[in-house]
């Protein structure tokens, strides 16, 4: 990755849950063809690490990362599988140290002002805001921009095609994470053309 910031790769980062590793490569190719290069594969399924490995090996235009990273072991396994960025739903000092030592960009998760201040104190200014909608959404992030202008966010959790532009309009938001371009029925039907179309729509958001 030429840019060390996950936030500047694309306006939308697809948050992918891979149940069947055979779906990983065609799904990633559809997302990339639609203009979404940064792909977060969550570590929520047994297939996740193999999916990251497959995308890293077979889809060179994709920038594949690991999501739901919650332990140093997750960090090590993800990087070994080829993850080029890491995303966590929250953070501890132990997890943060492992992500810093990984050598790849990372977005630790926050949902409160105190967590943001604590990360800034530790030299981290780019973070995931999660769960975005449940934690206060656009008004919350807008209110953080005044006292904490140095913090930049990727809101994830309940973000939709309809709400994404409101987030992206905020000066402290670099990108959003979401899964609306990956409807379960399309994935189940292996309708990669539909996913590419939805990805292209998402990639066009500003």
Catalytic residue selected from 40, 58, 115, 206? 40
DSSP string, 105-174: -EE-EE-SHHHHHHHHHTT--EEEETTTTTTTHHHHHHHHTTT-TT-EEEEBSS--TTTHHHHHTSTTB-
4: which residues sit within 8 A by CB, 6+ positions away? 105
C-beta of residue 6 within 8 angstroms of C-beta of residue 126: yes
Backbone torsions φ then ψ of 26, nearest 5 degrees: -65, -35
In residues, how long is the chain? 206
Clarify whether 128 is annotated catalytic: yes
Does the active-site annotation cover 196?
no
Among residues 19, 58, 128, 142, which one is catalytic?
A: 128
Catalytic residues: 40, 128
């Amino acid at each position: 990755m030429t840019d060390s910031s996950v936030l500047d790769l694309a306006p939308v980062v697809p948050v992918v849950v891979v149940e069947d590793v055979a779906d990983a490569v065609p799904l990633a190719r559809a997302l990339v063809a639609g203009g979404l290069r940064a792909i977060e594969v969550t570590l929520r399924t047994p297939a996740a690490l193999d999916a990251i490995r497959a995308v890293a090996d077979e889809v060179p235009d994709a920038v594949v990362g690991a999501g739901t990273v919650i332990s140093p072991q997750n960090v090590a396994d993800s990087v070994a599988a080829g993850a080029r960025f890491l995303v966590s739903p929250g953070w501890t000092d132990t997890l943060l140290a492992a992500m810093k030592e990984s050598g790849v960009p990372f977005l630790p998760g926050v949902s409160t002002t105190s967590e943001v201040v604590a990360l800034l104190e530790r030299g981290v200014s780019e973070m995931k805001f999660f769960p975005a909608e449940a934690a206060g959404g656009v008004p919350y992030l807008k209110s953080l921009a005044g006292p904490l202008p140095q913090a930049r966010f990727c809101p994830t959790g309940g973000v939709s095609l309809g709400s994404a532009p409101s987030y992206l309009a905020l000066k402290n938001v670099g990108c959003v994470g979401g899964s609306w371009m990956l409807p379960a029925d399309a994935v189940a039907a292996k309708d990669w053309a539909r996913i590419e179309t939805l990805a292209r729509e998402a990639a066009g958001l500003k």
